[in-house]
């Protein structure tokens, strides 16, 4: 009650901050976990608080350097990595996870930690009704999902004289922009977007005299009835043009289109098809009050032994640090169960 958790993030900020520009700058950060600042619990204002009070770390080599470092550590500890091996099914026998099916072949395991998006995992990887429990197809379809992202990864043959590694462009009607994402499910006519220029901090990320630029515009997730934005080739080109026009007119990157030498675009379809994000929702389940904390899918399966979950749709939530914490919690549950089993086995002997 002291945190006013039942209130929304924007109202919480508005109680203390009177300039609407500052309110938007602070409340916008709830979109980093896929929820509207007008809907997200005020608890999530902890995000800008941590950033402003404690600061954040920048990793040399960019975010992917973290994945590479975890891979190295995993292999140094004796782990064996099998990349590009899609899991077809989690095998459950007599109420216990005992392996996965890959390429039509059963791979046995003492325990299974699943980091696929939880709704996708329940619908596509788990066919045991007891293991799924309350997470039936109907339940999953009826849950609330985060927004998605339209992302431009740009390699530029020019280095712009800018100082800001991070910058945000706000729509002139921010509330209308948010309604486009969460109520009307359409590509915003006037999108807000976030620009990130990591090579300003780490020159090794681009050749000399060049620069990398990442532009992210929040967009609606995919809709089952097809009422949301279309993501055909012509549509994507039009959305790209709309965003880049605003980048050129309202940021220091005035002629960015003339200097793009490599480019990759991600849409909700890419998040759905490449990463199995349910509905293409980049941040997984929307962290509404009733889909947060205890009410989020747990890291340990309720109806199956030796099955654990981590990722943005599980407890505690989305965002890179929080997803890493989700993995840590899943491992703690596994290790606790492992110790208990070993203790009981020893006592039985």
Q: Which residues contact 131 (CB under 8 A, 6 or more apart)?
A: 90, 92, 95, 97, 301, 303, 304, 307
Environment class of 88 (CB within 10 Å of its CB; exposed 0-12, middle 13-18, buried 19+): middle
Does the CA dihedral 142-86-313-267 come out positive or negative? negative
Q: Yes or no: say if 235 and 229 are a contact pair by the CB < 8 Å rule.
A: yes
What is d(CA 75, CA 25) in angstroms, rounded to the nearest whole number? 41
What is d(CA 162, CA 170) in angstroms, rounded to the nearest whole number? 19
Q: Yes or no: say if 253 and 158 are a contact pair by the CB < 8 Å rule.
A: no
Nearest to 140 by CA among 313, 332, 338: 313
Catalogue the active-site residues: 51
∠ CA 132-135-137, rounded to 5°: 105
Q: What are phi and psi of 101, to 5 degrees?
A: -100, 120
∠ CA 101-102-103, rounded to 5°: 120
Q: How many CB atoms lie within 10 A of CB 68?
A: 11
Nearest to 315 by CA among 301, 305, 304: 301
């Amino acid at each position: 009650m002291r945190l006013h958790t039942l209130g929304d993030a924007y109202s919480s900020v508005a109680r203390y901050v009177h300039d609407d520009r500052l309110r938007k700058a602070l409340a916008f950060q709830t979109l980093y976990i896929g929820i509207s600042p007008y809907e997200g619990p005020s608890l999530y204002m902890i995000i800008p608080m941590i950033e402003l009070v404690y600061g954040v770390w920048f990793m040399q080599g960019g975010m992917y350097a973290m994945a590479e470092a975890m891979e190295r550590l995993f292999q140094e500890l004796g782990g064996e990595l099998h990349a590009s091996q899609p899991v077809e099914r989690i095998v459950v026998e007599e109420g216990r996870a005992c392996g996965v099916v890959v390429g039509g072949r059963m791979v046995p395991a003492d325990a299974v930690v699943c980091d696929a998006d939880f709704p996708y995992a329940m619908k596509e990887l788990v066919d045991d009704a007891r293991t799924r429990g309350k997470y039936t197809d109907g339940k999953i379809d009826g849950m609330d999902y985060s927004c998605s992202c339209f992302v431009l990864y740009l390699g530029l043959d020019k280095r712009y004289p800018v100082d800001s590694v991070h910058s945000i462009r706000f729509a002139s009607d921010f509330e209308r922009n948010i309604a486009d994402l969460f109520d009307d499910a359409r590509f915003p006519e006037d999108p807000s977007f976030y620009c990130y220029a990591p090579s300003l901090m780490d020159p090794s990320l681009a050749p000399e005299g060049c620069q990398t630029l990442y532009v992210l515009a929040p967009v609606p997730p995919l809709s089952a009835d097809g009422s949301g934005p279309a993501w055909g080739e012509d549509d994507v080109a039009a959305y790209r043009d709309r965003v880049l026009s605003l980048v050129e007119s309202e940021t220091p990157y005035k002629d960015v289109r003339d200097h793009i030498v490599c480019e990759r675009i991600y849409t909700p379809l890419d998040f759905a098809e490449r990463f199995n994000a349910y509905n293409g929702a980049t941040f997984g389940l929307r962290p509404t009050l009733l889909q947060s904390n205890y009410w989020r899918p747990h890291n340990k399966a309720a109806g199956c032994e030796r099955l654990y979950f981590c990722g943005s749709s599980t407890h505690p939530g989305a965002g890179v640090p929080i997803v890493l914490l989700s993995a840590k919690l899943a491992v703690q549950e596994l290790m606790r169960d492992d110790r208990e089993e070993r203790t009981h086995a020893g006592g039985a002997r």
